[in-house]
Amino acid sequence: MDFEAAFTTELAQFPPELVRGTEVERLVRQRVGQQTFRQAMLDYWGGACAVTGIAIPDVLRASHAKPWAECASDAERLDVFNGFLLSASLDVLFVVS
């Protein structure tokens, strides 16, 4: 499939009134409190990956042990005991498994 055909097929998935060339308008649901959770995880784990000890904040992710969508309450979503501070590569593997 060539580029233009692939692009046309992709655009056809959206209502025409939302498409502006190669952009589309979307309504986004954003997680509130994620930064608070991340900071709590950084504090709890001493700013280092729970597995490797890597202490570079830019490559660390606050990972939920029980997925955000499956939490019974907002408190559970933001609970420091519902997560691990992981390097980005381990976080990806943690989510996939």
SS3 (DSSP) at 61: strand
Instruction: Please report whether residue 70 resides in a domain.
Output: yes
Instruction: Please report whether residue 12 resides in a domain.
Output: no
CB neighbour list of residue 36: distance below 8 Å, 6 or more residues apart: 78
Instruction: Please report whether residue 27 resides in a domain.
Output: no
Instruction: Please report whether residue 39 resides in a domain.
Output: yes
Distance CA 7, CA 51 (A): 42
* Residue 20 scores a pLDDT above 60: yes
* Residue 97 scores a pLDDT above 60: no
pLDDT tens figures, 28-84: 888 888 899 999 999 999 999 999 999 999 999 999 999 988 999 999 999 999 999
Q: Per the confidence metrics, is the pTM higher than 0.75?
A: no
* Average pLDDT score over residue span 14-38: 85
Instruction: Please report whether residue 88 resides in a domain.
Output: yes
Instruction: Please report whether residue 91 resides in a domain.
Output: yes
- The helix (run of H) or strand (run of E) holding residue 75 is helix 74-78
Instruction: Please report whether residue 59 resides in a domain.
Output: yes
Number of domains in the chain: 1
Amino acid at 81: F
Range of the domain at 87: 34-96
**Predicted pLDDT at 95:** 67
Instruction: Please report whether residue 21 resides in a domain.
Output: no
